[in-house]
Amino acid sequence: MHPKFSRSLALVCFAISLTAHAQSSLQSGGDFSNSPQPNALPSDVILVKGAWSSASDSVTPVPELGRVANNVFSNQYFGLTYAISPDWTEKYSGPPPSDSGYYVLAQIRLAGTSNGTRRGSILIAAQDLFFTLTPAGNALELIDYDKESLNADYKVEQPPTLVRIANHSFVRFDYGSPVAELHWHVLATQIRCHMVQFVLTSRDTKLVESLIQEMSKMTLPAEAGPISGRGGGEVPVCIKDYARGENVLERVDPVFGERRFNPAPVRIIIDKQGKVKHIHFLSAFPDQVKAITDALFQWRFRPCLRDGKPVEVETGIMFGRAPRPAILPASQAVSE
Amino acid sequence: MKTTKLASVVAILAALFFTGMAFAQTDPGVRSNTGVNAGQPFASVTASPNDLAFFQTGLAQFNEHQTVTGDNPGLGPRFNLDSCGACHSQPAPGGTSPASGIFPNVGPNPQSQVIANGVVNSNTNTIPYFVFANGPVREARFPFFFDQFGNPNPNAPNGGVEDLFTVSGRTDAGSCSLPQPSFNTARATNNIIFRIPTPTFGTGLMANIDDSTLLANHAAQANNRLGVGGAFNHNGNDGTISRFGWKAQNKSLMIFAGEAYNVEMGISNELFTQDRPLPGEDQLGSGLPPSCLNLAGIGYPEDITHSDGTTASTVTSDVGLFNTFMQFLDQPTPSTTSPGGATSITNGRRLFSAIGCALCHTPSLTTQASKLTLGLGNATANLFSDIEIHHMGAGLADNVSQGGAGGDQFRTAPLWGLGQRIFFLHDGRTANLLGAIEAHQSNGSEATQVEENFDLLSPSQQQDLLNFLRSL
């Protein structure tokens, strides 16, 4: 290329880039705009999210995506359906999962004000047992802990007791507040290493008992039970701290561009070959999601065997600020 | 006969109406029969002549009105008001938004008086549409930058403070000519949010709660059955828990004071050393025009530590004095009898805990040892806050991110002194306590279930709870 031509070309490119820069500057109205017909932002929408939940694909079910439709609460991740009476509705969706693995799956309440005495609410929630801050290893222990830590505002009405609902074992715990004249009835079971709980609140214990009766129509996976729910069958087995020690054959640490201080709990599904198949972020910023995703898809695990056959495994890893399980370097894991 | 029948019906309806009224719960309003119960220094400060002198100098500086030039220089070129104490004045200096017709009748919203008081020139400034004489002091933010068509661009988050006024046209502002931000366009595009001043009573105690105490409280509340999560905002420099501001975005009172002096009043200082352009002026790459820089003619920063001072309080910078004043402000004193009587307040307090309000509005936390003054050390801070940020849902979301807090996350507002506050929630959208409680539930809020529990209470129980809150 002729030097003169290339200089001209460079100048033209520079001029275009300047124009482009000027236009991009002008494109921002900054703090000043007098456009007569602007488009308005929607109201009551959360557009700027902080640490939030997300997943590496939109096909694999995740806990927070349950919903109430046609008077049935269904949650594909937990394999759960629960028919609610027509006069009960979900008015507000819950918050995103907390960074200690607490989910609000549905908040259902008796529609209308009725006569003021037969009102109540149903909170369906879940606690990821991999990330709970409570010293408990299963749903039964969690409910026992609840009972032991109940403060003086409440009175135990029925200590944690095993009951059968819809042919599955639950732990039931009732307590009340004399001053508020409210009663809480907690029914909890364990599915995929989560405590799944139904918290029924009302002044009217008969109303609650009728709700409990109606729960017999609920459908649950075979694994459901206050201790037993550890996956398996059609879903991966869930194993706490599987991503540690000799199970980790190859590990790549995420490279974070920004220094952050939040816990970033992650659930992963490892396929039968030991590769990461799915990543679910309970709570993480988008830049953390990208860095962790890029790293985790390079991890390799020792395949998990059950009865001599490889199975898919679901486990949890805590990235970020919170204390996380010690993960041995890949070199050490391989040498063992 | 017909008249008699009609009269009977009216009488029955009236009886039903007034019966309903008798059971209907109402916000008792600002507590006015117990005097002003906030704004005093700790007893340990009063007992120390040096500390008291520091506090009083800080108070005087807090209430001082700044000008562009002169004895109290540095105002502008953009600002929301000219004095800390003008915004933080209800029910006493250090508090929050005042009102003229509500106890203790501090005065109208001072932002509504800036033209009348000669703080701004009416030829170059107008009072924004959201400022009213009987409304709250407000700062405005545009969650997103506008594009060239005047549309807010959701891919360009802004969220910085858009100062309401400029010094343009003031006799001490020279040729500095600055327009006010496009508040009306922002309104038309739903691209504007507001914040009201946070009260500073007891904030020295909040500053002196160790992170370990906050973390232990968080862990103790984590296994609740009410839908509450919670997280902390952190200081980007050292990673510790930050705690001041509506989103707990500020680590310390000194930073809080330094930022406010710069952002709200336009006074550069040793923490924020330049005059501040609007976010858009920064984004456009222009910054402030030269004609609007160094208007005081004293160089930067405009507020400094005075090496020629003769006492601690005359050496200290304005920001240092604000910091000392706030640190030494004791927590408000609640009433045990008003409103509603002791029994109602006691009952309300128990209900507050029983239905789950206390999960986030932690009644008290203990401070660590203090080198500053005895009153701050190993003390019970009755703040009614866990200092955590919580998702408050789409109904309250302002789509402004600060530190680790997202668009719908807010610090649990400390409730001490609530009984003598006028405006509620981050933007002062309501002066009715019931309205503030109801706003706790919306899509995505952690507080929906607790609010639902409030709805399950009987009217008289709700009244007890409201009385308790207004006793604080």
Please write the tens of the pLDDT for every residue from A251-263: 999 999 989 999 9
**What average pLDDT score do residues B423-450 get?**
98
Does position A222 have pLDDT exceeding 90, yes or no?
A: yes
Residue A10 bridge partners (DSSP)? none
Q: Which among B456, B461, B463, B464 is the top mutation candidate for probing chain A, defined by the most A β-carbons within 10 Å of its own β-carbon?
A: B456
Q: Are A302 and A295 in contact (CB under 8 A)?
A: no
Does position A117 have pLDDT exceeding 80, yes or no?
A: no
Q: How many CB atoms sit inside 10 A of residue B306's CB?
A: 12
Nearest Cα residue in chain B from A263: B231
Give the span between the Cα atoms of A42 and A169, in whole angstroms: 45
Q: Are A237 and A312 in contact (CB under 8 A)?
A: yes
Using an 8 Å CB-CB cutoff, list chain B residues near A106: none
Give the span between the Cα atoms of B31 and A305, in whole angstroms: 68
Give the span between the Cα atoms of B443 and A45, in whole angstroms: 9
Using an 8 Å CB-CB cutoff, list chain A residues near B227: 94-95, 104, 107, 123, 125
- Report the residue count for chain B: 472
Nearest Cα residue in chain B from A101: B229
Would you state the pLDDT for residue B283? 72
**What average pLDDT score do residues B402-419 get?**
98
In 3D space, the residue among B288, B296, B258, B276 whose CA is nearest the CA of residue B162 turns out to be B276
Does position A4 have pLDDT exceeding 70, yes or no?
A: no
Using an 8 Å CB-CB cutoff, list chain B residues near A144: none
Q: Are B193 and B400 in contact (CB under 8 A)?
A: yes
Nearest Cα residue in chain A from B146: A29
Q: What is the pLDDT of residues B140-174, one digit of tens each?
A: 999 999 988 888 999 999 999 999 999 999 999 99
Does position A19 have pLDDT exceeding 50, yes or no?
A: no
Q: What is the pLDDT of residues B195-207, one digit of tens each?
A: 999 999 999 999 9
CA B51 to chain CA centroid, nearest Å: 26
SS3 B223: coil
Kindly compute the dihedral angle of the four CA atoms of residues A79, A84, A88, A93, in this order, to the nearest 10 degrees.
Answer: 0
Give how far A308 is from chain B: nearest CA, Å: 38
Give the span between the Cα atoms of B124 and B292, in whole angstroms: 15
Q: Are B391 and B444 in contact (CB under 8 A)?
A: yes
Q: Are A182 and A200 in contact (CB under 8 A)?
A: no
Residue A83 bridge partners (DSSP)? A72
In 3D space, the residue among B440, B448, B437 whose CA is nearest the CA of residue B470 turns out to be B437
Does position A2 have pLDDT exceeding 70, yes or no?
A: no
Give the span between the Cα atoms of A104 and A125, in whole angstroms: 5
**CB distance A28–B145 less than 8 Å?**
yes
Does position A77 have pLDDT exceeding 70, yes or no?
A: yes
Give the span between the Cα atoms of B47 and B326, in whole angstroms: 17
Give how far B453 is from chain A: nearest CA, Å: 8
User: What does pTM read for this prediction?
Assistant: 0.92
Burial A231-243 (b: 16+ CB within 10 A, else e): bbeebbbbbeebb
Give how far B357 is from chain A: nearest CA, Å: 12
Using an 8 Å CB-CB cutoff, list chain B residues near A39: 151-152, 189
Inter-CA distances, B120 with B77, B126, B127, B131, B177, Å = 11, 9, 10, 15, 13
Does position B14 have pLDDT exceeding 70, yes or no?
A: no
What would the two tokens of residue A59 be? 């096909």
Rg (chain B; Cα; Å): 24
- Give the pairing type, strands B380-381 and B365-366: antiparallel
Would you state the pLDDT for residue B16? 47
- Residue A33: pLDDT band by 50, 70, 90 thresholds? confident
Does position A333 have pLDDT exceeding 50, yes or no?
A: no
SS3 A82: strand
Q: Which among A25, A26, A32, A33 is the top mutation candidate for probing chain B, defined by the most B β-carbons within 10 Å of its own β-carbon?
A: A33
**What average pLDDT score do residues A184-211 get?**
96
